[in-house]
Amino acid sequence: MFCCSKKRVYKIHPEKQKVKRPTIIEDQLSRQEFTEQFIGEVLSCGTCNKSFSLRENELVATCGGCYKFLHCGIAGKCVGPNCLFKIKGEDYRETWCVKCVPNNIMINVVDIGSINNDCLCRECLNDPKTPKKFKRGLY
């Protein structure tokens, strides 16, 4: 029977077949069409749940705690050392909403509602590097 059958050669690692991908993409948008489509996106405010398009320019910031978009209910920018970032030599502070900052600190209760105000988040409240003048509580 050995004369009729032939010994097979098995490859341990078979060669993978290359798949040709199309080089032309037909659904590509022009730059202006893409910009119009992007600006037309609708996002909701994390505090009041109202919807705004990016074209309206109403959404001011995102919260550092819950990562929701904000147009109202802004506690301010955190003054603590954990929320300070340096990007290309400029200082940026993280913005927080009223729901994510502790309500028993004076700086969080006095001025709220504007992105230009100061606040102190929970993480920076417990940090020993934060100055004590910001940690004053309500009595």
In the structure encoding, which two tokens stand for residue 82, read together? 């954990």
Q: For the chain, what percent of residues have pLDDT higher than 70?
A: 83
Average pLDDT, the chain: 83
Q: Report residue 9's pLDDT band, with 50, 70 and 90 as the boundaries.
A: low
Quote the DSSP letter at residue 123.
Answer: H
Q: Report residue 93's pLDDT band, with 50, 70 and 90 as the boundaries.
A: very high
Q: Which amino acid is at 35?
A: T
Rounded-to-integer distance, Cα 90 and Cα 21, Å: 44
pLDDT at position 5 is 64
- Enumerate the domain spans of the chain: 63-133
Name the residue with tokens 């341990």.
12
pLDDT at position 58 is 86
* pLDDT for 60 beyond 70: yes
All residues at 6 or more sequence positions from 105 whose CB lies less than 8 Å from its CB, including other chains: 120, 125, 134, 135, 136, 137, 138
> Which tens digits make up the pLDDT trace of 96-139?
999 999 988 888 888 777 788 899 999 998 888 888 888 888 65
More confident residue, 66 or 36: 66
